[in-house]
Structure 1
Amino acid sequence: MSIVFRDVREHELDSVLALNNAAGPTILPFDQARLRHFFETAEYFRVAERDGTLAGFMIGVGSDAAHDSSNYRWFRERYPHFFYIDRIVVASRRRGGGVGRAFYADAQSYAELRYPQLACEVFLDAAADPTLPDPALLFHGSFGFREVGQQLMPETGLRAAMLMKDLCSYPWVRDTYGEALPAEPWLIVPRTARTPQRATGTGA
């Protein structure tokens, strides 16, 4: 069956938490309070559903978000306007089946209408074999990301490669539509715009 992408639902948060914390060293764990913060404030918090089951999730925020990640702050200090992918997790049984690449395509289709750049990071110290090229860097490189720096995360001691991708459609969209995008069903409305009451969450 095809992969269906949609906004996360509140009753799915326990499953998302379990999926995140079972993902291994490439994904930082979080607790219920931080997950709730993302649910209440993240501009993009979507799940992938395949065969009626949760296949993964992705969380993203814009460059004006109240986000306390040191990697996010690294980008904020250097770039004025971008969309940041905080994390993507694919269920172990679904890895290698195209869910991750489809997620990045979904996130880009959202971001390129609103931001000139897409940002994320890869943990370099989490590679299974540090003597070999990191497959995560290969994956991101094949999707158009380039490394723009590295940082040693103060809260974890992990070294991260900081990646950016220019979104070539953004200048045309900005010059043609400004911030008034057409009211078309295929244009994903930001979660925080649809549910403004969720914009008051505090960080964990």
Structure 2
Amino acid sequence: MLQIKALKKSYIQGAQEVKIYDNLNFHVKKAQRVAIMGKSGSGKSTLLSLISGIIKPNDGDILLDNVSYKDMKEENINDFRATNIGFVFQNFHLVSYLNALENVMLPAKVCGIKNAKEKAIELLESVGLGHRVDHLPSQLSGGEKQRVAIARALIHNPKVILADEPSGNLDEETGIAVMDKLFELIKKNNTTLILVTHSKDVAARCKETYELIAGNLKKC
């Protein structure tokens, strides 16, 4: 479903080249739930950005459902990402001036999905926020914001969800409740999940766990 082939990525810092990945190979099957762990600065978030096409590798290729990123033009990869990938971030990234319903509807509008409002309401109800559709992010708790973000990530039926520390800013009890809902909806929709986390408990809920060490993914 997802293939990473001989991926290389480095950055220039001052006069030095800092290598993140030198020859990374990785694959994820359809509907798989994969956790990626590793120390801060090991390149976990960079990997999600590469998989999403937000940043480009120095060399190598990424294929999602056999579609190669390598020769894709910028506007094409933006459209491809909007259609095929959903995101759940640690800091929620909700639009402050849009209410919960409007935030969830955003990807649907980009993708031209019909009945976006009805589907957004259904998703908000499924995450227990049917009574909060008109509330702005400032009127929601952290857990409620993250549940809105989960609904937003799923509205366009993406092939893969990329989740970057989705429970990182939540207290333990709220984090567990939010992750329960994420895994429930991922399973229901048969969606592939690639989850970056520092939590061993969260990682244990995935079928496979990898640790990012020195630019390579080691299966735990």
TM surpasses 0.5: no
| TM-score normalized with structure 1 length | 0.28
Q: Which has the higher contact order (CA 8 A, sep 6+)?
A: 2
Whichever of the two has the greater Rg, that structure is: 2
